[in-house]
Each structure stands twice: as C-alpha cells, then as structure tokens.
Structure 1
Amino acid sequence: MTEAVTETITDLTYSTYLQMDTLLSLQQTRFPESTDRSVALAEHFFIVAHQSCELWLKQIVADLRLARDLLNAPGDPAGGAEDGVELLQRAAELLRVLHEQVIVLERLPLRHFVRFRPYLGTASGAQSQQFRVLGRLLEDGTETSELYRAFLADAHRQGLSAADVCRLGVACGGPHRVAEALLDVGNGYWRWKVAHLGLVTKMVGGQQGTGGTSGEDYLLRRITLPFRDLRQLRGNPHTEVLATSPV
C-alpha cells in the first residue's frame, strides 16, 4: 500500500495536481468568436473573473465556517480563538482580493459588454449560492450573524461580554484580537460590495440588472456593514473618556 501511494505522489506534476486540463476548459464563451474575437475574448475575461471570485468565495466561506466552529468550541477556555483569528485574518485578505478583482473588471470595454450581455440570459451574480452563505455568516438580520454569536460565546467562556472586550481592548487578549479581525472581515466585505456597486453603475447605469434584478438599486439596498453591535460598543470608550476629561 505504501509503495502504491509513493508511486502516485512521485507521478504527480503541477498540471495533474491542479487538474489544469479541466480547469482551463471551463471558460466556455457563448458569443460567437467567428463574429468578433475581441467581444468573445471580453466575455472570456468576464467568465474568468467570476469563476475566480467563486473559487475565492469557496475558500473564504470555509475559513469563516471553521473560525466560527473554533470560537464555539466547548471545553477550551480560549475557545480556539488564536486559530480563529488566523482564519479571520486570511478571510479579510481574500476579501481584499475580491475587491481588486472587481476593480479589474472595470477594464471590460462597455462596447464589448453590451454585445455579449444578451448571451448571459437569466444568469445573474445575485444567484450565487456562496454569496448567500457568506451573508449568513457575516450580516445581521433578525438576529446577530453566525460569526458574531460565536465571538460572544468565546468571550462569555472567558467571563467577558462584548462591552467588556471593547472597554478592555488589548488587556483582554484573545477576544480583543477576534473582535479586531471580525471588523477587518466586515470592512473588507463592505468595500467589496461598494466596489461592485460602482462597477455596475459604470457598466449598466440605471438599466435593469442581469437576471431581472433592479440593477444599482438592488445592490445599494444590500450594502451593509457587518457586526453593527460590535461597532456601536466600540464607540463607548470615546464617551467614557469624554466623561472623565477635565473641562
């Protein structure tokens, strides 16, 4: 068995490990290349950008889910906070990558987009399942988000409330680092959404969005800053300092 595993590993190449043949065959454009190669290549660019976003979303969602689970871990006084912080920080950096990919999409010529856009049919980024999962992890709805509840559970195991964490800052150690990392993730998520709105207003303007959405209005209504309670609590130290400052 060991010999078989060793042989398989030694036979690996960069191409087979990454399944390059399959990966590079997934960009199937619909605009006829024989009609205009420039437009077909623009659609190819559009597909590559969105497929890349979905791959990064897969990693971000996986990292945030594990961070949530580590922070919720019972029996560990630290609640897996340090490992969770690493995962949150990586997710924050990957959200910055997503933001940059939206900026790159601004290099899609409008004259090309309007020609291949009809070939998208009813397909729309609003249909992304991974984007919805990310929203449940980060966004506050009728109750606080999954990640924020995990942060509260981790702090509670250490005898702290969210207000305590914001008041004590670095003095409370791990929970403070978790709170800071959560805000980095939340800010990255918000910047990504704002950049997407900017791209849509540049490329579509007031027209109806792809897939029947209302376009820029649809996106504008969905731009929120995650972890609103944490942000509000972080404002309390300002009030406390002002209250104790000499007139």
Structure 2
Amino acid sequence: MTTCPFNPAEDGAQMAFDGRMSYGDYLRIDQILDAQAMLTPAHDEMLFIIQHQTSELWMRLALHELDAARRKIAADTPHEAFKMLARIARIFEQLNSAWDVLRTMTPSDYSTFRAGLGQSSGFQSWQYRLIEYAVGNRNLAMLKPHAHRPDLTARLEAELARPSLYDEALRHLARHGLPVPEAVLTRDLRAPWVHDAGVLAAWEIVYRDPQKHWAAYELAEKLVDFEDYFRRWRFNHLTTVERVIGFKRGTGGTSGVAYLRRMLDIQLFPELWALRTTL
C-alpha cells in the first residue's frame, strides 16, 4: 500500500521564513559551519578541527555553569548550584566521549597535516585555562602563552583575583560553623592550592555526620563527581596523544605524553580525596 508523503505544514509547522527567524538564523549555523578553515588537503584535518572547536563550545558552557555555581555557593544557596555542578560533570562526560572519535585518526593520518598546525596546541586554550583557574588549579606560569593577547590576559587575571570554586565551597563551610582554618579563608587567591590538614579535618566532620551537614556533604560529592570526570578527560587526552604521536614532542613544544602524565598528578580538591582514606 502506498501513502502520500507527510506534509508538516498540514500539522501546523511553519514552512516560510522570508523575513522571519529560522533555526539557522537563531543558531548562526552559517557562521559556525564556515569556521572550519582547513590549511592542508588532508582528509582528517576536518576531524581534528571539529573535535577541538566542539570542545571549545562545551568549555564555554562549562564556564557559564561554573560562574553561576560559584555565585550560588557564595550566596549560601548551594542547593541551587548542585544542578549546575552536575551539568559540568556531564559536560566533561561529553568531552570524554569526543576522544573516541579522535582516536579513529591513525598516526599516518595525523602526519598528513600535523606540520600545518605550526606551534598551535591545545594547552594554549584560554577557555581551558579559565576552567582550571576557576576550579582552583592556579598555575601562574600558564599566563605566559596568552601574553600576546591583552584581552585574554585581563580575563585570566580577573579570574585569579576571584575565589575559586573550591575557595567558595570552603568559605561556605566556614559560614556554617565548620572549622576551616582562617589562614585558608584569607589566603592569596592567586597562589596554587596546597593540601591543608585543617581543611581535611573540616571535611571529615561533614562526612562523619552527613545528615547534620547534608548540604555540605552533597556539595562535596558534586565536587568529587566533577573532578572524577575531569581526571578521566585528562587520562583520555594522554592515551589519545600516545596512540597518535607516541612520545614525540607536542606541536606547542611540550614533552607531549610526559607533560600530560605530570598533569594527571594534579588534584583539584585533594582533601576530598584524602578523606576516603582517613575516614
């Protein structure tokens, strides 16, 4: 039996967009799809560009959520931040899945366009740097790759002057009577985080009686959930790089795999991981 093709207009769908906003207009699809400027004739360069451009879009959303979550925690409404923190973790789950697509590129494929990248490298991503600064990994040496852009340097410096996500969480604990050391609350915000026994003790109080400190307990688990996905992202980055270029130096001059292995050792919220042992 044959049937006539379904006409969406008969169901009320809008079909005419002369002078009206369409899907493509709203999302600026033309501008997005014009942004893949390949520099070589290599087939796999398109994959490489789209992988990194979509990652930057997800990072933009992560920064949007991080900004809002910190404001909610600072206002002592952490329950309103929980959905945002959960969303950030899911964003990094998406970023993790993207490595699976990139890993379909073989060393031979990559070699066909790698020279065209010049000195560009993922570690130069200013959005990724903002995420690290926002959550507490404040390595001032990483300002240098952005020194040629005063606008980006200003954004990164503004982030360094602001309490990180972890700083805001600890300030929230202190305002609710938990013994976070004063030295931690008044610390130099630009300085890298250093494991603190007093902070560990404060979190232990929360975990030994989660019913009494439920909001702080749930906040802590949301932080751990995010870092779990974040660390997986770093690990997948490492294994993808090793699979594609082995132990060659990165295009940006780093030691490549060796550099990424060092990044695996960095913990964003070390006391929340340490208490798993001390409880």
TM-score norm. by structure 2 comes to 0.73
Aligned-pair distance for 1:134? 1.2
Aligned-pair distance for 1:140? 4.6
Cα distance in structure 2, aligned partners of 1:25 and 1:140:
34
Aligned-pair distance for 1:156? 1.9
CA contact (8 A) 2:135 2:166 kept: yes
* In the alignment, structure 1 residue 190 sits paired with structure 2 residue 231: yes
* In the alignment, structure 1 residue 103 sits paired with structure 2 residue 100: yes
1:5-20 equivalences in 2 (<5 Å): 11-20=20-29
Residue type at the aligned position of 1:105? L
Cα distance in structure 2, aligned partners of 1:234 and 1:170:
18
Residue type at the aligned position of 1:14? Y
Cα distance in structure 2, aligned partners of 1:135 and 1:156:
24
Gaps of 5+ in 2: 1-16, 140-162, 179-201
Gaps of 5+ in 1: 1-7, 33-38, 74-78, 238-247
The C-alpha deviation readout for 1:177-234, integer Å capped at 9, x for no partner, is: 1100000001111000000000011111111111211111111111223200122234
Equivalent of residue 173 in structure 2, options 155, 159, 168: 155
Equivalent of residue 211 in structure 1, options 252, 266, 273: 252
Cα distance in structure 1, aligned partners of 2:207 and 2:136:
20
2:198 aligned residue: none
1:128 aligned residue: 125
The C-alpha deviation readout for 1:119-157, integer Å capped at 9, x for no partner, is: 001111010011111111234558xx8111111111222
CA contact (8 A) 1:137 1:147 kept: yes
Q: Which one is further off, 199-208 or 217-226? A: 217-226
The C-alpha deviation readout for 1:54-113, integer Å capped at 9, x for no partner, is: 01011112211221121112xxxxx12011111100000101111111122101132221
* In the alignment, structure 1 residue 138 sits paired with structure 2 residue 135: yes
Aligned length: 216
Give secondary structure in 2 for the equivalent of 1:113.
helix
Cα distance in structure 1, aligned partners of 2:28 and 2:138:
39
Consecutive aligned runs of 4 or more in structure 1 exceeding 6 Å deviation: none
1:62 aligned residue: 64
1:164 aligned residue: 205
* In the alignment, structure 1 residue 112 sits paired with structure 2 residue 154: no
Cα distance in structure 1, aligned partners of 2:243 and 2:213:
45
CA RMSD of superposed structures (Å):
2.0
